[in-house]
Amino acid sequence: MSLSKILVSTERKYILKNLKQDKRIDGRDLFQYRDIKINANIVKAAEGSAEVFLGKTHVITGVKYELGPPFPDMPDKGVYTVMAELIPMSWGAFEGGPPNERAIELARLIDRPIRSAKMIQNEMLCLIPDKLVYIIFIDVYSINYSGNLIDSGALSALTALISSKIPTAKILDKEKAKVEWDGGYFNTKKLIKNIPISVTFGKLEDVIFVDPNLTEELVMDGRITYAFDDDGNLVSLQKGGLATFSIDEVKSLARKAKELGVKLRKDLDLWQYQNLKNK
């Protein structure tokens, strides 16, 4: 057995022993998040941006746009897409190059609640049906990885969208799909109608805990992520890893995720980051 496997095995036993006593290596309770800090409008070249610190995990998201043709099956709706990049400097095991499976999964876990909650009113992003719509790019970057990129990445994406300042346009020629800036910006309160909050739990053997840090992620058997919207509706549920969850666990964790989501929504007050010029 390699030295790294011995160290992971030893660390796993130590962490599990503490978890069974309702203790965690960083002093938290089983269902306690690390401290969260959010800063908005940090990238001046972007239409919207935000950074989130979840403990030592640091994520930055930027929102950009361009104009282009709609998808054929949504001719009168704008387009939005989420991309995640795991920067090598954020953790030694991340590698450069095209997005790998882990980055793609992270992007989908951030995208799914936004899409399922119908957070972005993409019919507002249509300029000329079948010809010209807004295409919104939501780019998430890991700056320092210390566990739970899902919840931190989701929060940074939500805040970046809320803080965004996207120019509105007037149509000059429908046939040629020509437009120009009309001097205004989208009202974010109208463009965004619902905010889904993601809550991720880790599982190590029979012990479940929220917001796994890096050490816990390295040894845990799996995870499960819930997202609830403003009205308390479950809009996303995703399991990862080899851990199994019983029906009773899935139901009880849904209640706990909803409870934690309500608290996060109140404590973080993401609408405070709305760009004043959009009001």
Domains and CATH numbers, the chain: 22-278 (3.30.230.70)
**How far apart are the C-alpha atoms of 93 and 106, rounded to whole Å?**
16
Q: What pLDDT does residue 181 have? A: 94
Structure tokens, 239:
């399991």
199 touches 31 (CB < 8 A): no
**Sign of CA pseudo-dihedral 92, 97, 101, 103:** positive
Helix axes 149-162, 101-116, angle to 10 degrees: 50
Residue in 31, 35, 55 with CA at minimum distance from that of residue 215 = 55
Q: What pLDDT does residue 3 have? A: 43
**How far apart are the C-alpha atoms of 67 and 76, rounded to whole Å?**
13
Classified as helix, coil or strand, 122 is: helix
Question: In the 8-state DSSP scheme, what is residue 271?
Answer: G
228 touches 236 (CB < 8 A): no
Half-sphere exposure of 199 (CA within 13 A, CB side): 26
Task: For the chain, state the CA radius of gyration.
Answer: 20
CA distances from 61 to 38, 142, 237 (A): 11, 9, 22
Residue in 197, 220, 194 with CA at minimum distance from that of residue 209 = 220
Classified as helix, coil or strand, 80 is: strand
Kindly give the pairing relationship between strand 79-86 and strand 132-144: parallel
Kindly give the pairing relationship between strand 79-86 and strand 36-40: unpaired
Residue in 42, 38, 41 with CA at minimum distance from that of residue 58 = 38
Q: What pLDDT does residue 137 have? A: 98
Q: What pLDDT does residue 241 have? A: 95
Question: How much is the pTM?
Answer: 0.94
Q: Burial level of 5, CB count in 10 A (0-12/13-18/19+)?
A: exposed
215 touches 184 (CB < 8 A): no
The three-state (H, E, C) secondary structure of 145-161, written as one string: CCCCHHHHHHHHHHHHH
**Sign of CA pseudo-dihedral 275, 226, 242, 206:** positive
* Averaged pLDDT, groups of 10, the chain, 279 residues long: 57 92 93 98 95 98 97 96 96 90 97 97 96 98 98 98 96 94 94 96 97 94 97 97 97 98 97 73
Q: What pLDDT does residue 6 have? A: 54
Residue in 242, 223, 219 with CA at minimum distance from that of residue 6 = 219
